Homo-oligomer: A and B are copies of this chain.
Amino acid sequence: MMNDKQYRESLRRLKPVIYCNGRRIENVVDDPMTKPHVNAAALTYKLAFDPECEDLMTVESSLTGQKINRFTHIHQSTDDLINKVKMLRMIGQRTGTCFQRCVGLDALNSTFIVTHKVDRECGTDYHQRFLAYLKFVQENDLMVAGSMTDPKGDRSKKPGQQADPDLYVRVVERRRDGIVVRGAKCHQTGMVNSHHMLILPTTNLGPDDKDYAVACAIPVDAPGVIHIFGRQTNDGRRLDGDIDTGNAEYAIVGGETLTVLDDVFVPWKHVFMCGEYKYAQEYVETFASYHRQNYGGCKVGVADVLIGATAQMAEYNGVAAASHIKDKIIEMIHLAETMYNCSIACSAEGHLTEAGNWYVDALLANTVKLNCTRFMYEIARLAHDIAGGFIATLPYEADYRSPVTGPYIEKYFTADPKVPTEHRIRLARLIENMTGGTALAESMHGAGSPQAMRVMLYRETNLEHKKRLARRLAKIEL
């Protein structure tokens, strides 16, 4: 296992091509735009050595028997599934934002399942290849970016029907030593500070889409890989000091990129699906269900911070005892714990797969994320309500630091005289930045859009059984 220092050093050794705001980022560890995201991911390494957290953070590898970071683990029980959720909540409480590494974990576990099934049904040997890769990941404690979402072009058309065939990642060449892939992946969380990306398909595919049925691992700095760093809400504030950015240490969401694969070569040992289009849908759903499981962990950790910030602000403002304030805080707690319940339950109701790992209850896992697309917005709305309008009109840090305007700000933003004004401002900025645009949009679209969950809820429920129950009680059928 690596610790956070070793993780940072390992990143320094990589040379990914990253563009941001018209310039190249040479060093993700120190560049102010990427540094907080590195900090968040680094915590997944650091806490593995923290005696308080290591029970959740580390686990014995099912492949090697060695102690590994849980983020590289293949789940061996419902306890593993539950502990994943608890680990995510615990880290979320410390970062107040996305720490990115779960995407790879979910990609690993779903690839474990699908390669096993493809091999069994098609006589291929992807699973063995994958196990070798997995062992490498575990032993080197790699951070792997699970890479699913393609640009998709015209949403009413399948991959093979797009005007531009590259709008979904595809195999453009099959060689003796490997394959060449072209296309791009969007919304790539944690990509710039990962070691590898694990490409997988993003939608169900038909016989015409064979070239799009591709799964493979690629180093983030492989030739032909270009990362374009996404712009986040208030990103520029990172350059202006440490107050206005709110969560200066860990920032917001996961530093998403558009990652372009401009004819990238992948050796066969890192190819885990190549043409088996029939399994794309199951691959997508398996990954998605694992990934939706997470949101009642990490987001609830984030919500814990926001609830705490809001309760603290109420105290600073002298209104903590007002019944309507308490009632709103209770509502925030209720919504957060309801999301947590969904994640715990889909884990407790998980089952052993034929491949030998444990998989969440897919019906229940889809409720997790669907609730998240509503409740995180409502929690943000309640935070705004309690925190007050000044989260939207506070002066700049530079004006606060200025000898001309600073004293006025100090004087007029004092609430309780015992609380330093800076504390109140810092807290307001934290709330502002945790409830702004990018953070909310992530709650909506991360791990798939609401309609994707609804489709799965309809498919996974047994509606015929429910109809029979009703008919029996109505004495239509006995």
Check A475 for interface membership: any CB of B closer than 8 A: yes
Q: Which secondary structure dominates chain A's binding surface?
A: helix
A306 partner, pick from B184, B307, B401, B470, beta carbons under 8 A? B470
Chain A 345-368, CB within 8 Å of chain B: the 1/0 string? 111110000000000000110011
Q: How large is the interface on A (under 10, 10 to 19, 20 to 34, 35 or more residues)?
A: 35 or more
Indicate whether A276 reaches chain B with its CB closer than 8 angstroms: no
Which chain B residues border A178 with CB–CB below 8 Å?
none
- Give the docked Cα–Cα distance between A260 and B228 (Å): 44
Contact B437 A233 (CB under 8 A): yes
Listed stretches A7-15, A266-274, A283-291, A425-433; interface member:
A425-433
Query: Could you give, for residues 211-253 of chain A, a 1 whenever the CB lies within 8 Å of some chain B CB and a 0 otherwise?
Result: 0000000000000001011111110110010101011111001
Interface residues of A in 289-339 (CB under 8 A from B): 304-309, 311-312, 315, 317-319, 321, 323-324, 326-327, 329-330, 333-334, 337-338
Stretch of A19-27, A54-62, A110-118, A123-131 with 4 or more beta carbons under 8 angstroms from chain B: A19-27
Q: By the criterion CB–CB under 8 Å, are B392 and A437 in contact?
A: yes
Chain multiplicity (copies): 4
Give the residues from 60 to 119 in chain A that come closer than 8 angstroms, CB to CB, to chain B: 82, 93-96
User: Whole-angstrom distance between the alpha carbons of A345 and B304 in the complex?
Assistant: 18
Give every chain B residue within 8 A of A463 (Cβ-Cβ).
307-308, 311, 329
Bound Cα distance A405, B256 (Å): 16
A347 to B319, alpha carbons, bound, how many Å? 34
Q: Please, which residues of chain B bring their CB within 8 A of the CB of A155? A: 317-319, 415
Residue A416 lies at the interface, judged by CB distance under 8 Å to chain B:
yes
Q: How far is the CB of A235 from chain B (nearest CB, A)?
A: 8
B392:A438 contact, CB within 8 angstroms: yes
A414-443 vs B: 1/0 string, CB under 8 Å?
A: 111100000100110110110111101110
* CB of A223 to closest CB in B, whole Å: 16
Q: A370-B334, A444-B381 are in contact. Are A411 and B449 (CB under 8 A)?
A: no
Of B93, B341, B471, the residue contacting A342 (CB under 8 A) is B341
Known: A151-B413, A237-B236. A401 touches B22 (CB 8 A): yes
Q: Does A469 contact B (CB under 8 A)?
A: yes
**Chain A stretch 391-424: residues in CB contact (< 8 A) with chain B:** 391-396, 398-399, 401-402, 404-405, 408-409, 411-417, 423
Chain B residues with CB below 8 A from A437, complex form: 233-234, 391-392, 432-433, 435-437
Shortest A128–chain B CB gap in Å is: 34
Given the complex, which residues of B lie within 8 Å of A94, measured CB to CB? Answer: 469, 472
- Which chain B residues border A324 with CB–CB below 8 Å? 323, 327, 451, 454
Least Cβ–Cβ distance between A300 and chain B, in angstroms: 11
Establish whether residues A154 and B371, one from each chain, have CB atoms under 8 Å apart when the complex forms: no
Residues of chain B lying within 8 A (CB to CB) of residue A367:
334, 337-338, 341
Q: CA A186 – CA B414 in complex, angstroms?
A: 13
Query: What are 20 inter-chain pairs, A to B, with CB distance below 8 A?
Result: A19-B399, A22-B396, A149-B389, A154-B415, A154-B417, A184-B408, A228-B405, A229-B395, A230-B393, A236-B237, A305-B469, A312-B467, A329-B463, A338-B342, A341-B344, A384-B444, A385-B450, A389-B449, A426-B476, A432-B437
Sample of 8 more A-B contacts, CB < 8 Å, known A246-B474, A432-B441: A155-B319, A184-B411, A234-B236, A308-B471, A323-B323, A327-B327, A381-B440, A427-B476
